[in-house]
């Protein structure tokens, strides 16, 4: 198998040739186009009112020139003509003044009709809602901090977003498919979805890559995932990156590109189904812990730096007995990144290590309050 299949290679190269030659100009043009759409929408909405104000200005100048009115008199005559109020004239008009008044009446009525038509059109077509929705989304994304970016809202991306929402993790989705965007907006309008191509650096910046704590890329094309991982790692060296992979030979490439973890859905799915036969009770219990049904059960990791200073560097038994909350230690992650299941009570927790604890939602919350991680 080839890492880049020919259709994927052609799509990948053609899609990023401009970006290779001109940096992120492609993403710049994308957002420039989006900004132009917003500006055009706003311009089309206020255009009738600008025309109306222009008519008022022409009326004031016209009466001052034709009838030799002062500013207040010209403003008064223009106002009663445009609004068709029909109050008494300042003084009798000349024939030229009457013709000018007829012109004002016709043009002002036309402007009012134009404004009403344009506003009705925007309300019916939903342009106003789209305009304010885009502004709301961009404003909400700008306020995010330590959030998760999900690239792709297909089956895997949708499931990832659903799980993040269940655990109250703030996230923003990047999706380039309009059909998927419309479906997602209809199903869950509260989800922050950025319309764009995640392989562009500027799109990642718009999603808040600099402030994000993690990125999940779930695109079906491995080449695109590699490109996103490379871009994300260069934009935020400290971010945690989890990538999907379809081909087994893509795994090491994604790791080299900067991914912390690589998930192969097909492999995990097959292993999961086979294990359900050999160890059904164990797998069902793990599914219960990780799924929505096990919402009252949580597994958390506590790093050495999160521990209060008075219990750092002490035995595991002392740490677990400090301000007991009912959580149980099920393992530790040592300095080398290896996991030790059911470690001895006398194990010393050193810098760089993490303690894995199991407990209910309330017990975990009390534990976080005790260590000041609320």
pLDDT digits (tens, 9 = 90+) for 278-304: 888 877 777 776 655 545 677 788 888
| Helix, strand, coil percentages for the chain (3-state, nearest 5) | 60, 15, 30
Instruction: Identify the pLDDT of residue 253.
Output: 92
Cβ neighbours of residue 91 closer than 8 Å, sequence gap 6 or more: 67
313 in any annotated domain: yes
User: In this predicted structure, what is the pLDDT of residue 336?
Assistant: 86
**Residue that terminates a domain, selected from 92, 125, 158:** 125
Residue 99 belongs to some domain of the structure: yes
Clarify whether residues 149 and 233 are in a common domain.
Answer: yes
What is the count of structural domains for the chain?
Answer: 3
In the chain, the largest separation of any two C-alpha atoms, in whole Å, equals 106
Pairwise CA distance, residues 216 & 237, whole Å: 15
Q: For 50-105, what is each residue's pLDDT tens digit?
A: 888 888 898 889 889 888 888 988 888 888 887 777 677 778 888 888 888 888 88
Question: Do residues 250 and 242 lie in contact, with contact meaning Cβ atoms separated by under 8 Å?
Answer: no
Give yes or no: residues 145 and 254 share one domain: yes
| 222 and 152 share one domain | yes
CATH label of the domain that carries residue 109: 1.10.287.70
pLDDT greater than 80 at residue 274: yes
Residue 27 lies in a domain: no
Contact indicator for 83, 109 with CB cutoff of 8 Å? no
Question: What pLDDT is recorded for position 131?
Answer: 65
Q: What pLDDT, on the 0 to 100 scale, is given for residue 238? A: 92
Phi then psi for residue 259, to 5 deg, are -75, 135
Domain harbouring 336, CATH code: 3.30.70.1450
CA distances from 177 to 9, 26, 180, 209, 306 (A): 20, 17, 5, 21, 41
Q: What is the DSSP letter of 246?
A: S
Q: Are residues 343 and 306 in the same domain?
A: yes
Nearest-angstrom CA–CA distance, 205 and 198? 10
Could you tell me the residue range of the domain that residue 316 belongs to?
A: 296-370
* CATH number for the domain that contains residue 217: 3.40.50.720
Average pLDDT, whole number, for the chain? 79
Pair (178, 117) in one structural domain: no
pLDDT digits (tens, 9 = 90+) for 126-145: 666 666 677 777 788 888 88
Instruction: State whether 96 and 181 are in the same domain.
Output: no
Q: Which of 66, 97, 125 is the last residue of a domain?
A: 125
Q: Per residue in 264-300, is it b (16+ CB within 10 Å) or e — as a string?
A: beeeeeeeeeeeeeeeeeebeeeeeeeeeeeeebbeb
Q: Are residues 106 and 152 in the same domain?
A: no
Q: State which of 263, 286, 309 marks the end of a domain.
A: 263
Environment class of 240 (CB within 10 Å of its CB; exposed 0-12, middle 13-18, buried 19+):
middle
The number of residues in the chain equals: 374
pLDDT digits (tens, 9 = 90+) for 207-249: 899 999 999 999 999 999 999 999 999 999 999 999 999 888 8
Strand order in the sheet with 171-175: 193-195, 171-175, 148-151, 214-217, 240-244, 261-263
Looking at the fold, whether 167 and 213 belong to one and the same domain comes out as: yes
């Amino acid at each position: 198998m080839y890492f880049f299949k020919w259709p994927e290679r052609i799509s990948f190269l053609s899609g990023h040739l401009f970006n290779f030659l001109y940096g992120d100009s492609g993403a710049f043009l994308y957002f420039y186009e989006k900004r132009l759409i917003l500006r055009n929408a706003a311009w089309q909405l206020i255009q009738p009112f600008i025309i109306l104000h222009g008519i008022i200005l022409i009326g004031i100048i016209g009466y001052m020139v034709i009838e030799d009115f002062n500013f207040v008199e010209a403003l008064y005559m223009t106002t009663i003509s445009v609004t068709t109020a029909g109050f008494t004239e300042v003084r009798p008009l000349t024939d030229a003044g009457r013709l000018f008044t007829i012109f004002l009446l016709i043009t002002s009525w036309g402007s009012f009709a134009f404004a009403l038509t344009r506003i009705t059109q925007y309300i019916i077509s939903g342009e106003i809602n789209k305009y304010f929705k885009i502004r709301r989304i961009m404003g909400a994304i700008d306020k995010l901090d330590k959030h998760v970016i999900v690239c792709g809202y297909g089956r895997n991306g949708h499931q990832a977003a659903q799980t993040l929402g269940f655990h109250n993790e703030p996230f923003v989705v990047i999706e380039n498919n309009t059909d998927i965007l419309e479906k997602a907006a209809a199903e869950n309008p509260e989800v922050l979805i950025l319309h764009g191509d995640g392989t562009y650096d500027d799109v990642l910046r718009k999603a808040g890559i600099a402030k994000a704590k993690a990125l999940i890329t779930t695109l079906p094309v491995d080449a695109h995932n590699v490109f996103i991982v490379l871009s994300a790692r260069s934009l935020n060296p400290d971010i945690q990156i989890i990538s999907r992979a379809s081909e087994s030979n893509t795994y090491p490439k994604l790791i080299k590109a900067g991914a912390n973890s690589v998930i192969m859905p097909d492999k995990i799915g097959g292993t999961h189904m086979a294990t359900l036969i050999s160890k059904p009770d164990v797998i069902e219990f793990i599914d219960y812990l990780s799924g929505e049904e096990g919402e009252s059960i949580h597994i958390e990791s506590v790093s050495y730096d999160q521990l209060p200073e008075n219990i750092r560097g002490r035995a595991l038994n002392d740490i677990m007995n400090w301000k007991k909350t009912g959580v149980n230690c099920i393992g530790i992650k040592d300095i080398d990144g290896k996991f030790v299941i059911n470690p001895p009570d006398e194990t010393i927790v050193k810098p760089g290590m993490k303690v894995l604890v199991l407990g209910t939602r309330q017990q975990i919350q009390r534990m976080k309050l005790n260590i000041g991680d609320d």
